[in-house]
Structure 1
Amino acid sequence: MMTSFLFSVFDLLASTSGMLVAALLLDRLVGEPKKWHPLVVFGRWVDICRRGLQLSLTDTTTRQRQAGAVAWCCAIFPLLFGLVILMFILPDWLTALLSIIVLYFSIGWQSLREHALAIVEPLIRGDLLQARHGVSRIVSRDTNQLDETQVAKASIESVLENGSDAVFAPIFWFLVLGVPGALLYRLANTLDAMWGYKTDTLLHFGWFAARFDDVMNYIPARLVVLTYGLCGQFGSAWRCYQEQSSSWKSPNAGPVMAAGAGALGIKLGGAAPYFGKLESRSELGEGRDPVATDLNKAIRLVDKGVYLWVLVVCLMM
């Protein structure tokens, strides 16, 4: 009887829904490793690939883009192939365990929640300095002079966008391509974060990394639009998505943030300071300006979305 029970548990954990639930529980209970993370090692490997293959800025745009594409392949494919080979040669129970661990490292649900809570708690008690410090860890804009509304806006924008990038997109690619799909997405998203900046040195070299990340996020972002709508004010979310998405510079962040803002009944976007300059941005959402407690609502919106996805996966698989 005990053996039968253990086999039943293994079959459950080895299923798609079982691995997803196990990885999400592990992420929620343990969170992101504080001292050691595989992506840190990956980052060092990425730097080696970049130093070895990046061309001079005097080379043509085409050649720099080609070098970036080759470097991208060198950074990702060996790890991806290694995972696939391990999954073929390991016994079933180790393959299931490896799959759960890889999926756990690919999802950043609890990390997103922790970063957001590190902002909302000081913001609610009026500690704007500490709240600004928390925001500076998750956004690229200047945070030293942000007021309470700007801090709330920046934080909510990051939660909504990263909810798509760090939580829902890796789950989507896991459901489509299995654990290799989740790993491919996480590594590609990390490379975009490292190489996808429009600086002199990365403008052309990082072009492939940025475009590949856009492609991988396209469908998940549209599913997140629907998710945020179903978990919030659907009519407002859908209206904002349809009317405002095209005005945003990012093809995936725009739809996600517009729908999220609409679902929450608040306004996001607008002018924001970046690298010493005030950058004009379109407004997203509708309603009032956000306050500190709206950040808590944004966290709950992502949480509800995760529960909804898990429920759908469990019913379908």
Structure 2
Amino acid sequence: MEFIVIVIGLLLIRQMGSLGALQSDQWFLGLLVKLHKGCGSMEWLKACVAIALPVLILAALLLFLTDRWLGLPVFLISLLVFLYSLGRGDLEKDVENYQEDLDRGDEQAAYNDIVELKVGQQQGEVETATQSHAEAVRTIAYRYFERYFAVMFWFILAGAPGALLYRLSVIYDQQRLQDSPETDFQNRCLWLLEWLPVRLVGISLAVVGNFPACLARLSESIVSSASSVEVLGNFTLAASLTGGDQKDSFVGKAGIEALFTRTLIFAVFMVAVLVVLL
């Protein structure tokens, strides 16, 4: 069932771009406001309750509905939760706007496009055009990751509750950075949730891109405590290398879209293989 849900979900979001009302987070933000009043300064307690409570309720509901009505309710709920858990907005359109601004030579507009994509991320220091583009690649790569790959990973591993756990963790972390950037409890939890899928995506990028360069990055990332954005960005830049030197790489809109489209197809193929084997 998980494979069918993933295929349908990916086809829908790739076709529609944005899922609008289905991905409304107002209920969760309202829950955070209520918990903030009750938990005070105990950030860890607020995070645990806000994220765990909806996940546990969903898990209990799916357990109750298991084997009822030929499994149709479980399938529909899982599909809706998977769609809800996918990334927000229309990423492909946002990347296209960035490239169009670059093509017009409007670097300020291109910079603003990337800033809008960096919701929930710390702003990096940019001094040159090369650094600016590398920062853009890292940002776009992470957006593809949290939009598709991380959700797929946790959906395969733990079903709809796993996908919901990841999405709520992302939303909470984004809200945390806006309200209280000095706390890092949830940032560490999200880093742990993303540690393995980031490196699995790195392996996938190696298969569809520059294998030796990505393999070198993989060995470095195993012991690295760097952020998911930095690790994934390094994988992406390595996968796009056309020669042995970093300066041979340029990942434009078409390049990064093609790279992650191939990676997404490879990931879905691997999921299908796992379903057949298991």
TM-score range, shorter chain: 0.7 to 0.9
Alignment of 1:306-317 (within 5 A): 306-317=264-275
Deviation at 1:310, TM superposition (A): 0.8
- Look up the match of 2:142: 161
Contact 2:23 2:88 in 1 (8 A): no
Consecutive unaligned residues in structure 2, runs of 5 or more: none
Q: Which moved more, 1:124-133 or 1:32-41?
A: 32-41
Deviation at 1:100, TM superposition (A): 0.9
Deviation at 1:232, TM superposition (A): 0.5
C-alpha separation in 2, matches of 1:127 and 1:196: 29
Alignment of 1:31-110 (within 5 A): 31-34=17-20, 37-55=23-41, 67-87=42-62, 88-89=64-65, 91=69, 92-108=71-87
Consecutive unaligned residues in structure 1, runs of 5 or more: 1-14, 56-66, 267-284
C-alpha separation in 2, matches of 1:156 and 1:103: 26
Alignment of 1:10-25 (within 5 A): 15-25=1-11
Deviation at 1:109, TM superposition (A): 8.3
Residue type of the alignment partner of 1:180: P
Cα distance, 1:116–1:246 mapped onto 2, change above 3 Å: farther
- Look up the match of 1:187: 168
Alignment of 1:234 with 2:211, yes or no, is yes
Deviation at 1:25, TM superposition (A): 0.9
Contact 2:82 2:163 in 1 (8 A): yes
- Look up the match of 2:123: 141
Cα distance, 1:244–1:47 mapped onto 2, change above 3 Å: same
Using the aligned pairs only, state the percent identity: 22
Of 125, 128, 142 in structure 1, the residue corresponding to residue 104 of structure 2 is: 125
Alignment of 1:263 with 2:249, yes or no, is no
Q: Deviations over 1:180-207 (max 9, x none)?
A: 111111111221222257x8x443xx43
Deviation at 1:295, TM superposition (A): 3.5
Q: If the length of structure 1 is used for normalisation, what is the TM-score?
A: 0.74
C-alpha separation in 1, matches of 2:29 and 2:56: 18
Q: If the length of structure 2 is used for normalisation, what is the TM-score?
A: 0.84
Q: How many residues align?
A: 268
C-alpha separation in 1, matches of 2:155 and 2:172: 19
Instruction: Kindly report the root-mean-square deviation, in angstroms, between the aligned alpha carbons of the 2 structures.
Output: 3.0
Contact 1:72 1:209 in 2 (8 A): yes
Deviation at 1:248, TM superposition (A): 7.0
Contact 1:155 1:295 in 2 (8 A): no
Higher RCO structure, 1 or 2 (CA under 8 Å, sep 6+): 2
C-alpha separation in 2, matches of 1:142 and 1:180: 33
Residue type of the alignment partner of 2:31: W
Deviation at 1:290, TM superposition (A): 5.8
Alignment of 1:288 with 2:247, yes or no, is yes
Deviation at 1:219, TM superposition (A): 0.9
Larger radius of gyration: 1
C-alpha separation in 1, matches of 2:129 and 2:5: 40
Cα distance, 1:264–1:157 mapped onto 2, change above 3 Å: same
Residue type of the alignment partner of 1:221: V
